[in-house]
Amino acid sequence: MTDIATQSETIEHVEVLEERIRELETRIIKFKDAAAKDKMLKPYQIELLKLQRHLEAEQIPMIVIFEGRDASGKGGTIRRITRYMNEKRYQVVALGKPTDFQTTQWYFKRYVERFPAGGEMVLFDRSWYNRALIEPVFGFCTKKQYRDFIRG
């Protein structure tokens, strides 16, 4: 009995190890794919660093707006853009539901308050998407506010 039990334990152990090896091989493939993508992005990231240096030197503010649906890749794109940038000179802004006080104000005031100073960059995640799609569906704005926003 002991030999059979030992063989059974050994077989189970080998199966566990084989599964772990398959998992690691999958992770290695994903890592290699990510590294290949990073290599393709390197020249563009260098240009972004040059842009950031130029904005700082000339004290030029810059706003970048990312619009899109949920899970459309905005967050990943923003992370790739900002990966090597000077964190002191940019900020990512993803505004949530407006407060009760903010709903009494001009809609864009929430954005204007986050505008960059000279030499800084602000990346807005979702921007108008919130007002145009999310806020009316969830009742975060009135029909009049929505109509005013759509008309510009």
Domain harbouring 131, CATH code: 3.40.50.300
Residue carrying structure tokens 């794919």: 33
Separation of alpha carbons 61 and 58, rounded Å: 9
Task: Please tell me the total count of domains within the chain.
Answer: 1
Q: What is the pTM of this model?
A: 0.64
The residue segments making up the domain with residue 44 are 2-151
* Predicted pLDDT of residue 26: 87
> What confidence score (pLDDT) does residue 129 get?
60
- Whole-number pLDDT of residue 89: 93
**Based on C-alpha coordinates, what's the Rg of the chain?**
25
CA angle 51, 72, 113 (to 5 degrees): 55
Name residues of the chain where pLDDT drops below 50.
none
